[in-house]
């Protein structure tokens, strides 16, 4: 049986929703109730589905857990999957990103964390090594903290070569072309209006980046004001915000197979973090940002909650499913690339992370904590 | 030798075979950190719940030695005498 799994990480636990038609969803009881779930990675490589979860318990700290049976049972690496060495004199704050690499790099999973750091696992997420190239970067002391904390929130390995892009708040986009050994800022063209020099080499507050599926040199970026595209691997960026109701927002998603298609979920402004006119809508481009189509069929007429940077995702089905959740605890699913949405869940805690995948089997009702 | 009794909060009891208290033999006064080292020996998950990887007590975890909050005494260097009662408890936090 082919099932779509929708993993919903919230401020107070993880919910797993499943559907065989992407219209009717079955929602689990909460897993890891009361833990924040800011990061989820669904790894469908190697013939199994592993749900990796970056948890944050305000009392007991951050940790990575995973389930290979769709949430029936959870495992936690005893020593902690991600932890700094004693000599680093710092402690892991929060796991912001768990990103399985491409299918031809089985076992490789990347993590982005707070404090700003990138980590790489080669054993499917059971143990991660700190990327020293970025950790020892001379810019590190100048990177700042956004409201949510100072974190590498996006780690994006290229499927075709040793390029890795990282996005951090605040710091901007950094790129490695040697698999993570060395890193350079790549923010030319992206404004940092909140700094004395609005066009610095680094320091931008990028909220999310996504890679085009057909052209790995093409990326999309949703910034703290500003929506951008690069066609040269981030050497230069240009605005693609024309046609959007606002250039603020946290989310950007790319189509898993079709080049030129991406989604954003605009918010009115930095100072007014609600959907423009309180009308929640997803916007899709099919021409790499030249034009945008507003998509709100099935979404509420009035919505005052924001959608956070990882609270949105796509699946790999045909047509592609688009999913997102709000800070008001509503989760929406579209089985037709955003043309129409149905509500999967409502009144959950603030949604922090949403990930979807086509899997085999059905999700467990509830797992052990 | 009079053991120290370490009271374990409910949420951490699954990590100590569901016990509410663990007795740790102690012959002479020792700092809280040493006591935690003994408690965490063979229990790496428990260790990570109480202290981060720098060895610091997690911000919202409190430890009391005979009713005294160690943060008001000498932190994890606070001495624990044989026969003491050490309470590990989560602080009031969250919303």
Domain chopping of chain B, boundaries: 4-90
DSSP string for A134-178:
HHT-TTGGG---BTTBSEEEEEEE-SSSS-EEEEEETBEEEEESS
Q: Write the CA distances from A62 to A200, A270, B48, integer angstroms.
A: 33, 29, 9
Chain A interface, mutation test: which of B14, B18, B53, most A Cβ atoms within 10 Å? B53
Within 10 angstroms of residue B59's Cβ, the number of other Cβ atoms is 12
Question: Of the candidates B50, B54, B61, which has its C-beta nearest A91's C-beta?
Answer: B54
User: CA angle at residue B41 from B76 to A368, to 5 degrees?
Assistant: 100
Domain chopping of chain A, boundaries: 2-360
Phi, psi of A360 (to 5 degrees): -110, 130
Distance of CA B48 to the CA centre of its chain: 12
The answer, yes or no, to whether ipTM is higher than 0.85 is: yes
| B84/chain A closest Cα distance in angstroms | 24
A91, B52: Cβ pair inside 8 Å?
A: yes
Torsion, Cα of A19, A20, A21, A23 (10° steps):
-20
Torsion, Cα of A305, A308, A314, A315 (10° steps):
-100
Left if phi > 0, otherwise alpha if psi is -120 to 50, otherwise beta: which for A322? Answer: beta
DSSP string for A14-71:
EEEEEESSSSS-EEPPPBSTTSEEEEEEEE--TTS-EEEEEEEETTTEEEEEEESSTT
Burial of B41 (0-12, 13-18, 19+ CB in 10 A): exposed
Alpha-carbon distance of B79 to A64, in angstroms, equals: 34
pLDDT for A368 equals 38
pLDDT for A369 equals 37
pLDDT for B52 equals 97
pLDDT for B94 equals 64
Within 10 angstroms of residue A301's Cβ, the number of other Cβ atoms is 8
pLDDT for A362 equals 67
Tens-digit pLDDT profile for residues A70-93: 999 999 999 999 999 999 999 999
Alpha-carbon distance of A69 to A279, in angstroms, equals: 38
Residue A75's Cβ-side half-sphere holds a number of Cα atoms within 13 Å equal to 14
Cα torsion angle, A325, A331, A336, A341, sign: negative
Question: Of the candidates A59, A60, A91, which has its C-beta nearest B53's C-beta?
Answer: A91
pLDDT for B95 equals 67
pLDDT for A192 equals 85
Alpha-carbon distance of B60 to B33, in angstroms, equals: 17
Tens-digit pLDDT profile for residues B9-58: 999 999 999 999 999 999 999 999 999 999 999 999 999 999 999 999 99
pTM: 0.95
Question: Residues A289, A240: contact at Cβ < 8 Å?
Answer: yes
- Mark the ranges of chain A whose per-residue pLDDT is less than 70: 1, 361-369
Return the number of CB contacts < 8 Å for A and B.
50
| A210/chain B closest Cα distance in angstroms | 32
| A135/chain B closest Cα distance in angstroms | 17
B chain contacts of residue A86, beta-carbon cutoff 8 Å: 53-55
Name the residue with tokens 């005294």. B68
Q: Which CATH superfamily is domain A2-360 in?
A: YVTN repeat-like/Quinoprotein amine dehydrogenase (2.130.10.10)
pLDDT for A364 equals 63
B chain contacts of residue A349, beta-carbon cutoff 8 Å: none
Of A330, A316, A202, the C-alpha closest to A265 is A330
A61, B49: Cβ pair inside 8 Å?
A: yes
DSSP string for A182-195:
S-EE--TT---TTS
Alpha-carbon distance of A176 to A164, in angstroms, equals: 5
What CATH class is the domain B4-90? alpha beta
| Binding-site residues on chain B for chain A (CB distance < 8 A) | 11-12, 44-45, 48-50, 52-56, 58, 60-61, 90-91, 93-94
């Amino acid at each position: 049986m082919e099932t779509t799994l929708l993993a919903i990480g919230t401020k107070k636990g993880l919910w797993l929703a499943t559907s065989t038609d992407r219209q009717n969803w079955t929602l689990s009881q909460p897993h890891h109730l009361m833990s924040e779930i800011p990061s989820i990675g669904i790894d469908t490589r190697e013939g199994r589905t592993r749900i990796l979860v970056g948890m944050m318990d305000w009392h007991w700290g951050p940790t990575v857990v995973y389930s290979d049976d769709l949430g029936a049972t959870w495992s936690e690496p005893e020593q902690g999957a991600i932890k700094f060495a004693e000599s680093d004199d710092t402690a892991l704050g929060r796991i912001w990103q768990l990103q399985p690499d491409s299918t031809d790099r089985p076992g490789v999973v990347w993590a982005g964390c707070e404090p700003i750091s990138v980590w790489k696992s080669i054993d499917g997420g059971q143990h991660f090594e700190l990327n020293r190239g970025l950790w020892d970067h001379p810019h590190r002391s100048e990177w700042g903290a956004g409201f949510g904390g100072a974190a590498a929130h996006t780690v994006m390995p290229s499927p075709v070569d040793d390029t890795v892009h990282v996005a951090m708040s605040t710091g901007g986009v950094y790129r490695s072309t040697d698999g993570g050994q060395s890193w350079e800022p790549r923010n030319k063209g992206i404004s940092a209006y909140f700094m004395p020099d609005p066009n610095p080499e680094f320091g931008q507050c990028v909220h999310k980046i996504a890679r085009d599926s057909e052209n790995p040199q093409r990326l999309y970026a949703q910034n703290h004001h500003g929506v951008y595209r690069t066609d040269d691997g981030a050497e230069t960026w240009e605005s693609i915000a024309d046609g959007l109701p606002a250039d603020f927002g946290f989310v950007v998603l790319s189509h898993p197979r079709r080049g030129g298609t991406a989604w954003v979920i605009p918010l009115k402004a930095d100072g007014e973090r609600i959907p423009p006119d309180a009308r929640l809508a997803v916007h899709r481009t099919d021409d790499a940002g030249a034009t945008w189509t507003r998509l709100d069929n099935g979404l509420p007429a009035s919505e005052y909650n924001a959608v956070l940077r990882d609270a949105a995702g796509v699946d790999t089905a045909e047509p592609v499913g688009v999913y997102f959740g709000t800070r008001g605890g509503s989760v929406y699913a579209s089985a037709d690339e955003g043309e129409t949405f149905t509500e999967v869940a409502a009144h959950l805690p603030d949604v922090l992370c949403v990930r979807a995948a086509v899997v085999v089997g059905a999700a467990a009702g509830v797992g052990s904590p | 030798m009079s053991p120290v009794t370490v009271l374990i909060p409910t949420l951490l009891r699954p990590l100590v075979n569901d016990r509410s208290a663990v007795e740790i033999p102690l012959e002479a006064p020792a700092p809280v950190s040493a006591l935690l080292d003994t408690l965490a020996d063979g229990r790496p998950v428990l260790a990570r719940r109480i202290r981060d990887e720098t060895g610091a007590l997690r911000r919202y975890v409190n430890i009391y030695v005979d009713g005294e909050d160690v943060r008001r005494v000498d932190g994890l260097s606070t001495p624990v005498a044989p026969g003491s009662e050490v309470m590990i408890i989560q602080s009031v936090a969250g919303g």
